[in-house]
A = this chain, B = another copy of it.
Amino acid sequence: MRLAELSRTTGVPPATIKWYLREGLIRKGEATARNQAQYDESHVRRLRLIRALVDIGGLTTQEARDILAVVDDPNASIDQVVGAAHGALARVPDSDADPTTLAQVDHFLASRGWTVSTGSPARAELAGIVRAMTQLTPGDDHSDQALVAGLAPYANAIDQLAAAEVEELPHDVPRDVLVEQVVLGTVLAERLIGSLRRLAQESAFLARYVTPSDINR
């Protein structure tokens, strides 16, 4: 398979594939001459993975490259792969989180029995979200208890989900397939959950207010 065919089967323009090659997101094809190279199914798969990460997951190509580097490293452990994916998904606030909010978040995590490293991007992100929500939500009960109670519905749903997800992880599968599935399960499933939630919301709103106004973009 040459570049043009690779482009045709994946729908990615040739110029973009060349650029991905330069950026190191995909491996070079096997050279058959000075200006000819052969690509195979692994390139097709990799290209699809990149597009999924970028188009659906919303990652930058830099972030995708960083994750793929870990995926490709045969010595990287599963939690390193997960860590790379988590790092790319978190929107960590620029400024240091305010310590009060961070303490509240830690209190919440402890109440859930969730143990995470202090450097966890998701922890910093959550602190930023909680801070913004606190500032923008009327009502003045900003106690640790109020936070734990407010997040309870979300945390309950997630606890339930996490159990189901862990069970689904295949275990009799080669490492490269597994890590790819882990990345997909981390990055794509986050968007999946979002769209499902919006679908459920839309349905609930349509049911509540009988007028079915066409909700278009």
Q: Is A175 an interface residue (CB 8 A)?
A: no
Task: Evaluate contact between B77 and A114: CB separation under 8 angstroms.
Answer: no
Q: Is A86 an interface residue (CB 8 A)?
A: yes
**CA–CA, A153 and B158, complex, Å:** 10
13 contacts between A and B (CB under 8 A): A83-B202, A83-B216, A89-B194, A112-B200, A117-B215, A133-B188, A154-B193, A157-B157, A157-B164, A157-B193, A158-B200, A162-B197, A190-B194
Could you say which of B80, B138, B213 contacts A213, with CB atoms under 8 Å apart? B80
Scan A1-31; emit 1 where CB is below 8 A from any B CB, else 0: 0000000000100000000000000000000
Scan A137-175; emit 1 where CB is below 8 A from any B CB, else 0: 110000000000001011111111110111010000100
- Copies of chain A in the complex: 2
Write the chain B residue with the least CB distance to A49. Answer: B136
**A214 contacts across to B, CB distance below 8 A:** 117, 119
Scan A191-210; emit 1 where CB is below 8 A from any B CB, else 0: 11111111111111111010
